[in-house]
Amino acid sequence: MEQGWSLREAIDYYKGRNAPQDQQALVALLREVQEHSDGTIPAAALDEIADALKLKKTFLSAVVKRFPSLRTEEAPHLLEMCGGERCRKRGCRELHRYVEDAFQVKSGGVSKRGGFQFKVTGCMKNCPNGPSLKWDGTLYSGADQQLIQKLIDDK
């Protein structure tokens, strides 16, 4: 975590702005923690926030999952790949297999090697431009191995 910034002070500040009752304030706190922690929210910080705001850790984890831009140490990034029929015709299955083999991860799991969570989803409503994927919630068209490798390398 960055020097000159204190998790305790950030928690107190957002408590004063009605977190956790106001979910926007809670998400703003999580974003601030992430920004001050090299782009991922440390597990210890999640524990401290849960304790200080009297929240269940499962609730906090659910909030983090709902916002793909929030990243934790366990799952710093989220790779979602379309498994819909039209993308399948465009070769998405081969891409799924590539991800599974190259990064040793199955859908629903976390790749320790690549540092991302992997999910095969339903249609992303981008069929004419498939294969479709989302990286941290941003949609990409015409996905191929090079794109996947670049997203993972650039993270």
What is the binding site for ligand FES (CB under 6 A)?
Answer: 82, 84-87, 123-127, 130, 132
Between 39 and 142, whose beta carbon lies closer to ligand FES? 142
Of 20 and 84, nearer to ligand FES (C-beta) is: 84
Block residue for tokens 């083999």: 101
CB nearer to ligand FES: give 36 or 90: 90
Q: Of all residues in this chain, which one has the CB nearest to ligand FES in the complex?
A: 84
Q: Which residue has 């140490």 as its token pair?
A: 73
Tokens in use for 152?
């993972």
Task: Report in angstroms how near the CB of residue 136 gets to ligand FES at its nearest.
Answer: 18
> Reduced to 3 states, what is the DSSP secondary structure of residue 87?
helix
Residues 6+ apart with CB under 8 A from 28: 14, 17, 19
Query: Burial of 86 by CB count in 10 Å (0-12 exposed, 13-18 middle, 19+ buried)?
Result: middle
User: What DSSP element (H or E) covers 78?
Assistant: strand 78-82
Please say which residue, 56 or 125, places its beta carbon nearer to ligand FES: 125
